[in-house]
Amino acid sequence: MAKKSYDLLFKLLLIGDSGVGKTCILFRFVDNTFQTSFISTIGIDFKIKTIEVEGKKIKLQIWDTAGQERFHTITTSYYRGAMGIMLVYDITSRKTFESVSRWLRNIDEHASEDVERVIIGNKKDMGDKRQVSQEEGDRLAREMGIPFFETSAKTGDGVEAAFRAQTELILRKTPAAMAGDGGGAGGGTVRPHEGGGGHRAGRCC
């Protein structure tokens, strides 16, 4: 039988105000392309990219909103099964930065309790229009205990690093039996929060 082309499958989500560049980040990461126009109406569900982290082939299924964020109608169904959330704001729009705490509350309400979060300040290529300093982003993220990255979907700067960090966070708490060499069937969706093995990877006993 053909060998599975990946070891683990992680479901990630992009979230944040409309126009911050979520869809562009996804296209940059997966297809290495950039669109200058709004593409939020395409209504894609998710894109797939497999990356290798710590010797494991990890298939990332990355979900993008179909514009529901404009109407604040992101609910439990969007968050279901998510293991990681990339919360994006736009460094050229203070309003979108101020929304971050609201999105964090939304995540608390609707997502799994132990979902891994990363905060992203996007459009760092637009330094001349910057309204939120890197220090401010850093401070907020540190207060919340969440990793922080500035990115540019336009140049690609920081995008890969943010997804890698997110993936490593999830991998770290994946039960050792699933993440280990030759572990199980070598695939399937891993939901650490359903594993009942506590937070950190269970190299227990």
- The residues binding ligand GDP (CB under 6 A) are 18-24, 35-40, 122-123, 125-126, 152-154
* Span of 38-46, 75-83, 105-113, 180-188 interacting with Mg ion by CB under 5 A: 38-46
Nearest approach, Cβ of residue 102 and ligand GDP (Å): 15
Say which residues have a Cβ less than 8 Å from residue 107's Cβ, sequence separation at least 6.
15, 79, 85, 87, 115, 117
Confirm or reject binding of residue 23 to Mg ion (CB under 5 A). yes
CB of 83: closest distance to ligand GDP in angstroms? 21
Fill in the DSSP letter of residue 189.
B
Cα angle 185-82-8, degrees, rounded to a multiple of 5: 20
Q: Answer yes or no whether residue 122 interacts with Mg ion by CB under 5 A.
A: no
The DSSP bridge partners found for residue 51 are 58
Nearer to Mg ion, 38 or 142 (CB): 38
Q: What does 189 interact with, of Mg ion, ligand GDP, none (CB < 5 to 8 A by kind)?
A: none
Closest CA to 121 of 146, 59, 112, 107: 146
Cβ nearer to Mg ion, comparing 40 with 151: 40
**Contacted by 122, from Mg ion, ligand GDP, none: CB < 5 to 8 Å by type:** ligand GDP
Angle between helices 159-172 and 22-31 (to 10 degrees): 80
Judged by DSSP in three states, 106 sits in helix
Instruction: Give the residue among 104, 45, 111 at the shortest CA–CA distance from 76.
Output: 111
Span of 3-11, 36-44, 95-103, 166-174 interacting with Mg ion by CB under 5 A: 36-44
Residue from 40, 92, 93, 151 touching Mg ion (CB under 5 A): that is: 40
